[in-house]
Homo-oligomer: A and B are copies of this chain.
Amino acid sequence: MSRFLQACRRQRVDRTPVWFMRQAGRSQPSYRALRARYSLLEICRDSSLVAEVTLSPVEQLDVDAAILFADITVPLLGMGVAFELQDRTGPRIRRPVRSAADAEALHPFEPEATVEALLDAVRLIRRSAAVPLIGFAGGPFTLASYLIEGGPSREFLHTKALMRGQRRVWEALMSLLTDATITYLLAQITRGAQAVQLFDSWVGALSPREYAAFVAPHSRRIFEAVRPTGVPAIHFGTGTAGLLKEMASSGGDVIGVDWRVGLDAAWAQIGPDRAIQGNLDPSTLLAPPEVLRAEAEAVLAQAGGRPGHIFNLGHGVLPETPPERLRELVEFVHDYRHETAGVRG
């Protein structure tokens, strides 16, 4: 078994596995060249392009896992949501969801119509990939926030207003998104995805109490639907230092954390029966190499050689990241030896 999947299962590994969120993306010259010819959605509609983009960082960076190339908003296309994707500013939803009527106008997710190429790509990638393939989906809060705000947000005022003031609409919308997410993840697993990650990137905007009331039951349903497949699930969010117990309790074999909390403090919160993924600040890759090494070493030291650490950034690779820094970081993580014998195979 690969060291990535072993770490997901908290088994001992020969080296700490490492991959990066957005490892395929604008930090790569090859991706930028491709994007000069195709839009993001055009790539997502062509399985051979998806496979090419998905596999490129494995070759270029020597990472221990590939993640299916797509955007978390893509399944929304199959629910009757019209939107544009912009590289820098994220999705722009044409008609934000603010009422019961808006929510009722959405329809259940139709994978065939919208993500068939992505699902075909899963099979294609599995044929040639030297490392495991991670499938993924957006978390229900994060997707709901895009639909309600109409795009990325800082304060999530419309989302919170609907959540608190129109509970039935909220539950209907979250149920619809949860159903879609389950369908989408199971379809990826059926075609061969060997792990899945739920990107509930913006749940950190909520208090632990509201997270538990408004989000956790939906996330729990997703993880419960994935569990019988035996495929490990990663539960990721940012700004979640105060939410980790609640997130872990709603599910995930691996909890993905950002840099705003010490990896050791995070692990103490989620408990020893979960693996952990993270948590270098992505902007450290823009710093001098010796700073990058020191910060990466600090993350590894906090993991302390305990089985179940997957090295990653705390959020996606920044577009301005020099590719050679990413390569050096992978090499550094692979070369790192914990002083205890714990991590050696």
In the complex, chain B residues whose CB is within 8 Å of the CB of A284: 160, 164
Determine the interface band of chain A, counting residues with CB < 8 A from chain B.
Answer: 35 or more
Q: Does the CB pair B281–A160 fall under 8 Å?
A: yes
Q: Does the CB pair B281–A207 fall under 8 Å?
A: yes
Q: In this assembly, does A157 line the interface, its C-beta being within 8 Å of a C-beta of chain B?
A: yes
Q: Which of B161, B208, B266, B283 contacts A283 (CB 8 A)?
A: B161
Binds B, one of A116-124, A183-191, A285-293: A285-293
Asked whether A261 and B164 contact (CB < 8 A) given A154-B154, A157-B286, A283-B157, the answer is no
Indicate how many identical chains form the complex.
2
Name the residue on B nearest A280 (C-beta): B207
Q: Does the CB pair A209–B262 fall under 8 Å?
A: yes
**Contact bitstring A256-275, B, C-beta under 8 A = 1, else 0:** 00011110011000000000
Name the residue on B nearest A204 (C-beta): B260
Binds B, one of A75-83, A107-115, A238-246, A325-333: A238-246
Q: Does the CB pair B259–A165 fall under 8 Å?
A: no
Q: Does the CB pair B288–A165 fall under 8 Å?
A: yes
Q: Does the CB pair B164–A291 fall under 8 Å?
A: yes
Q: In this assembly, does A225 line the interface, its C-beta being within 8 Å of a C-beta of chain B?
A: no
**Contact bitstring A185-225, B, C-beta under 8 A = 1, else 0:** 00000000000000000001111111000000000000000
In the complex, chain B residues whose CB is within 8 Å of the CB of A205: 260
Bound-state CA distance A212–B316 (Å) is 24
Q: In this assembly, does A298 line the interface, its C-beta being within 8 Å of a C-beta of chain B?
A: yes
Q: Which of B157, B210, B261, B291 contacts A208 (CB 8 A)?
A: B261
Question: What's the least CB distance linking A99 to chain B, in Å?
Answer: 16
Q: Does the CB pair A207–B259 fall under 8 Å?
A: yes
The 3 closest A-B pairs by CB, nearest first: A242-B261, A241-B242, A241-B241
Interface residues of A (CB under 8 A from B): 154-157, 160-161, 164-165, 204-210, 239, 241-243, 259-262, 265-266, 281, 283-284, 286-288, 291, 295, 298, 318, 320
A to B CB contacts below 8 Å, 5 in the list:
A160-B287, A208-B261, A208-B265, A241-B243, A242-B242
